[in-house]
Structure 1
Amino acid sequence: MSPISSTALSGLNAASLQLQSSAHNIANTQTPGFRRQQVVQSAEPAGGVRAELTQAAAPGEALAEDIVNQMQASTLYRANLQTLRVERDMLGSLLDVQA
């Protein structure tokens, strides 16, 4: 797998985890004592990102933050998907030139 694919796939996974986490938080907003899930991301030395789930220290909701997180994760997901598409197209063009 190329470094571009690896980086884009890690971004897709991180965005997917963020979408799942914020959806979980929104669905459980009214649950008494509910502690929100949070996604912590860190850069990988070889490129890409690592995403991990944590729980908020205290119970409570942050509906506005979760909605913004969903919008942001959706945009990041589409951007990483487009990166994979461009890489695929470039490799296809390169193979056409080589053939």
Structure 2
Amino acid sequence: MGNLITAASSGLQAAQLRLDSAAHNVANVNTGNFRRQEVVQTEAPGGAGVQASLRKADTPGVALEQEAVDQMAATYAFKANLQTLRTQDRMMGALLDVKA
């Protein structure tokens, strides 16, 4: 059960980083020679969740449509990870009911 919480928690943190990065990129859309931030996600050691980090894009410029898509994807990731936590909470409650 601990891995489930760890995976969902790391997913929530990655989604937050994605939202923060998109906001940073939109705020700098008119900055000359600005290179957008991109979020890179990799599997965490032991397969328990993800690790997210930032990197600079290869080419300068910001595409607002890409930032909107990234924000929507982060919103869906928040919802999915929250649902995982809720399901885990229900499973623990059911397990405690059986054991009691």
> Structure 1-normalised TM-score?
0.92
Q: Structure 1: 5+ residue runs without aligned partners?
A: none
CA distance in 2, matches of 1:27, 1:85: 34
1:3 aligned onto 2:35:
no
CA distance in 1, matches of 2:13, 2:45: 17
Alpha-carbon RMSD:
1.3
SS at match of 2:89: helix
CA distance in 2, matches of 1:61, 1:11: 25
**Count of aligned residue pairs for this structure pair:** 99
Report % sequence identity: 53
Deviation at 1:44, TM superposition (A): 2.1
Deviation at 1:45, TM superposition (A): 3.7
CA distance in 2, matches of 1:95, 1:83: 18
Structure 1 residues 74-93: aligned runs within 5 Å:
74-93=75-94
1:59 aligned onto 2:91:
no
Over 4 Å off, 4+ runs: none
CA distance in 1, matches of 2:10, 2:37: 20
Deviation at 1:58, TM superposition (A): 2.8
CA distance in 2, matches of 1:89, 1:27: 40
Q: Deviations over 1:29-48 (max 9, x none)?
A: 11222211110111124121
Q: Structure 2: 5+ residue runs without aligned partners?
A: none
CA distance in 2, matches of 1:45, 1:59: 33
Amino acid of the structure 2 residue aligned with 1:62? A
Deviation at 1:74, TM superposition (A): 0.6
> Structure 2-normalised TM-score?
0.91
